[in-house]
Structure 1
Amino acid sequence: MEEDKKANRLLNESSPYLLQHAYNPVDWYPWGEEALQKAKQEDKPIIVSIGYAACHWCHVMEHQSFEQEDIAKVMNEHFVCIKVDREERPDVDAVYMDAVHAMGLQGGWPLNVFLNPDAKPFYGGTYFPPQQWVGLLQNIAVAYQKNREDLDESAEQFVEHLNRSELDKYGLRESNFHVREEDFKLMGYNFSTRFDKKLGGLGQAPKFPMPTNYLFLLRYHHHTSDQSALNQLHLTLHEMAYGGIYDQVGGGFARYSVDAEWLVPHFEKMLYDNGQLVSLYAEAYQATRETLYHEVVYETIAFVERELMSPEGGFYSSLDADSEGEEGKFYTFTKDELQEILGDEEPLFSKYYHATAAGNFEHGRNILHRRKSDEEFAQKHELELEVLQEMVQNWKRKIMEVRATRIRPGLDDKILTSWNALMLKGLADAYYVFGNEHFLELALRNANFLLQNLKKGDKLFHNYKEEKATIDGFLEDYSYLIRAFTRLYEVTFDEQWLQEAKRLTDYTLENFFDEKEGMFFFTDQRSEKLIARKKEIIDNVTPASNSVMASNLHFLGLYFDEERYSTLSNDMLARVKDLLIKEPSHLSNWAALYYHKLTPTAEVAIVGENPGKMRSELSAFYHPNMLLLGSSDGQSNLALLEDKLAINNKTTIYVCYNKTCQLPVHDAASALEQLQGMQQNTKFPPL
């Protein structure tokens, strides 16, 4: 019982991950000056143990090692022990993950790194079984006493590596800006070599959703009409939506699939995945009108609102993979349990969701998943489509009622600005495509929550819990929120959101930008100084903060006619171009920006009575390379809306590019014709 145990210093923290360790016998410190000073005063090495609340193997190592008195005694005697929530301190995580990679080791979480008292790393790893962990602790304690100079020398070499520029590491060099059609096509070809054309996604297991990859494929197909790009998109989005990685009953996606078939998920559900996947499936629906994508968007938003939304309007970070100490127990069912819940309809349910008596998961349990569309299933089983769909909704309701009686997975209830911004953009994108007013209400509520609680002046904070925001914002917070606010302007035509985006952009240029290399640091120059100051270049499960900033500068440069923004965006893209062409799957958000520069981005201004109605008509068409502006009263501070008036008292659309406008029109179809003509006739000539 925790009440019988003595709490350590983590009890005063707000992070659910740190609080999970608050009653460990390990004398944990949070990351901070107190722990670092103690290491110097006592001349002890440091253990930095990094994880997050929804991490399964973090829980395993805690139970096997950190909860054990004998192991804790060794840790406390020889080390200063620091626990870090990687989601709260991605800056600390990035530095020491890079160090472990430099040691030639595979990274992951839990991440356990050994430092000297100057916070410089000399050894590390991920999960260690208890006996191996104790042996390692004892060996390092001895080595620290007997071979201190060697360890310090090794640490200095790692610090030298950590401070090497990311641009140098990836061979990125200054280059003149130009975009070429043949380079774009080569990008698409190089991307396609990694397609899994049978099961969707890229490469082999494990498989992550990687939304920026498929947002790029949508744009690539739109520009080139390459059918193979669209085929891969459809294959991947269908396989994910039919697989176990998607919660077939409650909506929402797990973090990744451990297999190539998308069947067995790592059951944790992260806000950042679901926000991005709402954007992806909404845009894919707009481009293709595939009804499955509509269903996924609505169900995923319903999941986020039901299980991750705070009463104040913020979104919590994640749900754990485990419940009752067992991974996936909350979401899986035995055949007998299904029989009890569904009665006579269980055999049909089990065919629809592929549940068997033996089970397709551990302990005879079943991960519900699909293989066919409703149309195919109804035809095969001689059912009317409407009858089947009504049965499916009834099945889902019954399963959800049973799940409501189960012990729920743990909730990480901290609120992060960057992840909220991804969800905010997802809601704005969904509203743009579907016109559902509830999506806009959720978006506006969240945006106002972020302004009120995570912004002070022009400065952002990264985290929020119990009415406190304590950690300075990182570039991911600024870049994602700038992008979300820009999108929120496009779906509301409320200029406060665009002005907020500009203020945040100017703050990042002043406090994050490296004039020497032309990229942004991950950390604010006013914030705590670590042993290295990193830059995030490579797109991963979330887009790299530098690629998002380059896109933000592109669009805001157009909105505000700010030449400096546009030039910086071009220079950043030019710097990564060579690597981008070779490795587009690792720089897919950069690749999407390349698309936006390949033909001029259209500026579509809607003026007159109820411009939102005309915007909703425009959204029936897919044209991803445009920005939207609107005004109902002619009052605007935006240069792009100057001298644009409603003609003959009719709502009027101006399609412009490169500061040149087409003839004004009064309907969405005519505007689309102009947009399509522009794409065909204004491609840059090869240089």
Structure 2
Amino acid sequence: MSPAANQLARATSPYLRQHADNPVHWQMWTAEALAEAAARDVPILLSIGYAACHWCHVMAHESFEDEQVAAAMNDGFVCIKVDREERPDLDAVYMNATVALTGQGGWPMTCFLTPDGRPFFCGTYFPKATFLQLLAAVTDTWRTRRADVEETSDRITDELRSMAAGLPGGGPAVQPALCDHAVAAVLADEDVARGGFVTNQAAAPKFPPSALLEALLRNHERTGEPLETVERTATAMARGGIYDQLAGGFARYSVDASWVVPHFEKMLYDNALLLRVYAHWARRSANPLARRVAAETAGFIVDGLGVDGMFASSLDADADGVEGLTYVFTPSELHDVLGGDDGRWAAEVFAVTEQGTFEHGASVLQLPRDPDDPQRFDRVRAALLAARLARPQPGRDDKVVTAWNGLAVTALAEASVALNRPELLDAATQCARAVWNLHVVDGRLRRASLGGVVGDSAAILEDHAALATALLTLHQLTGGWLDEATLLLDIALDHFAGADGRWFDTADDAEALMVRPADPLDGATPSGASLVAEALLLAGHLVDGARADRYAEAAGATLAAATPILARLARLGGHWLAVAEAAVRGPLQIAVACDPARSELLDAARQLAPGGAVVVGGPVNSSALLADRDRVGGADAAYVCRGRTCDLPVTTVEDLAAALGASV
């Protein structure tokens, strides 16, 4: 049986389409591809990456575009390409295998599998010469030492299935003392001098600790050290090279410990999570840097990643095959764009030196301090951005991922309140409507779409949970969306929930993989389990009756199952800690009896409420929280509750602020 030709041109993933012209006979992950491997009696060569990945591009140029390498791949293997963002379930399974075998992971991920999908050798990036040697060695081993391959793949499979058992379910309910313990553990790892969290003060790279910062901001009854830590880290990132000083938005990580040189890819999920942090910080502190960075990051999401009313996945690290080409400047380039005086001034403002901070004497733009001439700064920045736009631009992955769009909707909606920018709420609402209309097919949610065409991949737990939270956030601000949000939560409870508060990342009726993924730890994005805990906690206070009890009980059990993470692995449980901080305070609920279109008291409640609070406004009996709660003496009235304990209603902004004083 001859190998199939390259089949990636029909993919709904820009990453896969990048490889459609390779001489490699790439296929997508399908039952037919696995069947071909069995029929040909050859291993599967599985390559997993994503569109913005720099080293994925390097391996593609060196090996996958090379006729010699492609011939060896086609002759000895069924070659399968997977977009990790489109199939996070496959990525999770084989990343665990790669880490188990090599002690580290990353992308591109390169795995050799038996025809039924069991891994027997894994790695990441391989240079061309090494990769050719590896192909020959694997082919020889497959043909001459099959028993060894089967034994290895069985052992790895058994290990992965043991790992998938994860943390035990059950556990005690989350208490304030556990949150305090987790916060203290996080603070102990702060890099006070440079911001961020490390266990070794020289450690790099550094990733934006979005979930940890949000959790510390929610630690709102202890406003000292946690808030100071947030301010140090958020300031260091906003002034460093990891932040785009001209167009807004954050890169995925910094390669150094001081946030100077980024890995230049810009991801929707990072910027959505960081927008939430900076908007929350702006509400807490009125810090002008927080407000500016929140506004610019929101602008980057809406303008830089907007596609068909929704948001694209990422911008590439490379332009014309060169990492960072679009973004860096030398002093002479500043002079050419701005002239002598402004060029010298800009070099000082943006820390551009003759030695450079990046490659070939170029510098990544930083902003160590605010300039003393704001008008000159705005003019210079506009001129530099215009010059930058004339350069080659990074590619954009226009794939729309449900979970990341959910994170963006939540962040934009919250930023609309923090910044008093109603157009951000409009963008959030438009995105939610577009995702719902396109990604819900026959009553079930899909993972991703491209160009208005929804893909075949089923949504995973994080998709249901992030979108449900987004819709519940919109419900609090605009009304509506409650039925859609609870439909997603009911599907999650019916198809993803395990025993004793544990959750699987894939549905019980999804494609059966070698292992059913169930990772409770937060990473670059929150885990599906911690996201669903947040959505359930919110929903339990926004509906009534038996549904409220069901959601509240599920939220409690989910958090209880996560207590070992908060007790022992707090750095890997940032979003768990954020949800737990809300849970141990009720969460805080504020219901304002009013006309929601014109209520100073409702506006104040939304501004004053801490992260994780539930805030609704409307006439008496218009929602579960306003049942039998009316205006008082003809005045708007705010009802403040913590859990099932409620204060007397208040009718002035001053009294509301006093009622919330312990939580602000």
TM range (shorter): over 0.9
Decide which of 519, 527, 539 is 1:556's aligned counterpart.
539
2:387 corresponds to which residue? 402
1:438 corresponds to which residue? 423
Q: Structure 2 CA distance, aligned partners of 1:300 and 1:645? A: 39
Structure 2: runs of 5+ lacking an equivalent: none
Note the C-alpha offset of 1:229.
1.8
1:457–1:608 Cα change, 3 Å: farther
Structure 1 residue 334 and structure 2 residue 330: aligned? yes
- What are the superposed Cα offsets for residues 460-485 of structure 1, whole Å, 9 maximum, x if unpaired? 11111132112211111101001111
Give the 3-state SS of the residue equivalent to 2:661 in structure 1.
helix
Note the C-alpha offset of 1:173.
4.8
Q: Structure 1 CA distance, aligned partners of 2:642 and 2:656? A: 13
- What are the superposed Cα offsets for residues 36-70 of structure 1, whole Å, 9 maximum, x if unpaired? 11001111100000000100000000111111111
State how 1:194-343 maps to structure 2 within 5 Å.
194-203=189-198, 204-220=203-219, 222-225=220-223, 227-310=224-307, 312-343=308-339
Give the 3-state SS of the residue equivalent to 2:481 in structure 1.
helix
Contact 1:611 1:630 in 2 (8 A): no
Structure 1 residue 629 and structure 2 residue 627: aligned? no
Give the 3-state SS of the residue equivalent to 2:453 in structure 1.
coil
1:497–1:15 Cα change, 3 Å: same
Note the C-alpha offset of 1:19.
0.9
- What are the superposed Cα offsets for residues 417-470 of structure 1, whole Å, 9 maximum, x if unpaired? 111111111100101212211111111111111111112354211111132112
Q: Structure 2 CA distance, aligned partners of 1:367 and 1:400? A: 14
Give the 3-state SS of the residue equivalent to 1:519 in structure 2.
coil
Contact 2:596 2:617 in 1 (8 A): no
Contact 1:206 1:257 in 2 (8 A): yes
Aligned residue identity for 1:259: D
Note the C-alpha offset of 1:657.
3.2
Aligned residue identity for 1:608: C
State how 1:503-518 maps to structure 2 within 5 Å.
503-514=487-498, 516-518=499-501
1:82–1:625 Cα change, 3 Å: closer
Aligned residue identity for 1:239: A
- What are the superposed Cα offsets for residues 239-263 of structure 1, whole Å, 9 maximum, x if unpaired? 1000000000011100000000100
Range with bigger deviation, 523-532 or 390-399 = 523-532
Structure 1 residue 185 and structure 2 residue 171: aligned? no
Q: CA RMSD in A?
A: 1.8
Decide which of 569, 576, 583 is 1:590's aligned counterpart.
576
Aligned residue identity for 1:9: Q
Q: Structure 2 CA distance, aligned partners of 1:635 and 1:245? A: 48
Contact 1:608 1:649 in 2 (8 A): no
Contact 1:8 1:24 in 2 (8 A): yes
Structure 1: runs of 5+ lacking an equivalent: 1-5, 379-387, 681-687
Contact 1:435 1:616 in 2 (8 A): no
Q: Structure 2 CA distance, aligned partners of 1:667 and 1:322? A: 54
1:40–1:675 Cα change, 3 Å: same
2:509 corresponds to which residue? 526
- What are the superposed Cα offsets for residues 159-195 of structure 1, whole Å, 9 maximum, x if unpaired? 22222254x445x3532325143x3322222112211
2:397 corresponds to which residue? 412
Contact 1:602 1:675 in 2 (8 A): no
- What are the superposed Cα offsets for residues 215-256 of structure 1, whole Å, 9 maximum, x if unpaired? 111122x2223x222221111101100000000001110000
Q: Structure 2 CA distance, aligned partners of 1:426 and 1:199? A: 26
Aligned residue identity for 1:539: D
Give the 3-state SS of the residue equivalent to 1:223 in structure 2.
coil
Decide which of 509, 520, 541 is 2:524's aligned counterpart.
541
Range with bigger deviation, 483-492 or 113-122 = 483-492
1:452 corresponds to which residue? 437
Decide which of 463, 486, 509 is 1:502's aligned counterpart.
486
Contact 1:458 1:507 in 2 (8 A): no
Q: Structure 2 CA distance, aligned partners of 1:299 and 1:657? A: 34
Contact 2:174 2:559 in 1 (8 A): no
1:236–1:657 Cα change, 3 Å: closer
Give the 3-state SS of the residue equivalent to 1:332 in structure 2.
coil
Q: Structure 2 CA distance, aligned partners of 1:262 and 1:658? A: 40
Runs in 1 of length 4+ with deviation above 6 angstroms? none
Aligned residue identity for 1:631: G
1:655 corresponds to which residue? 640
Contact 1:417 1:481 in 2 (8 A): yes
Note the C-alpha offset of 1:530.
1.1
Report the TM-score, using the length of structure 1 for normalisation: 0.92
1:150–1:612 Cα change, 3 Å: farther
Aligned residue identity for 1:497: W
Range with bigger deviation, 53-62 or 230-239 = 230-239
Give the 3-state SS of the residue equivalent to 1:30 in structure 2.
coil
Contact 2:9 2:17 in 1 (8 A): yes
Q: Structure 1 CA distance, aligned partners of 2:565 and 2:272? A: 28
Range with bigger deviation, 393-402 or 79-88 = 393-402
- What are the superposed Cα offsets for residues 19-39 of structure 1, whole Å, 9 maximum, x if unpaired? 111111111111111211100
Note the C-alpha offset of 1:489.
1.4
Range with bigger deviation, 343-352 or 519-528 = 519-528
1:381 corresponds to which residue? none
Report the TM-score, using the length of structure 2 for normalisation: 0.95
1:675–1:265 Cα change, 3 Å: same
- What are the superposed Cα offsets for residues 641-670 of structure 1, whole Å, 9 maximum, x if unpaired? 211112333222112234343222222321
Q: Structure 2 CA distance, aligned partners of 1:580 and 1:210? A: 16
1:553–1:640 Cα change, 3 Å: same
1:558–1:16 Cα change, 3 Å: same
Decide which of 541, 547, 551 is 1:565's aligned counterpart.
551
Structure 1 residue 56 and structure 2 residue 54: aligned? yes
1:95 corresponds to which residue? 93
Q: Structure 2 CA distance, aligned partners of 1:487 and 1:475? A: 18
Aligned residue identity for 1:639: A
Aligned residue identity for 1:353: F
Aligned residue identity for 1:162: L
Structure 1 residue 30 and structure 2 residue 28: aligned? yes
Q: Structure 2 CA distance, aligned partners of 1:661 and 1:570? A: 20
Aligned residue identity for 2:350: Y
Note the C-alpha offset of 1:408.
0.9
Q: Structure 2 CA distance, aligned partners of 1:467 and 1:321? A: 25
Contact 2:309 2:430 in 1 (8 A): yes
Note the C-alpha offset of 1:557.
1.4
Contact 1:105 1:125 in 2 (8 A): no
Q: Percent identity at matched positions?
A: 36
Contact 2:590 2:605 in 1 (8 A): no
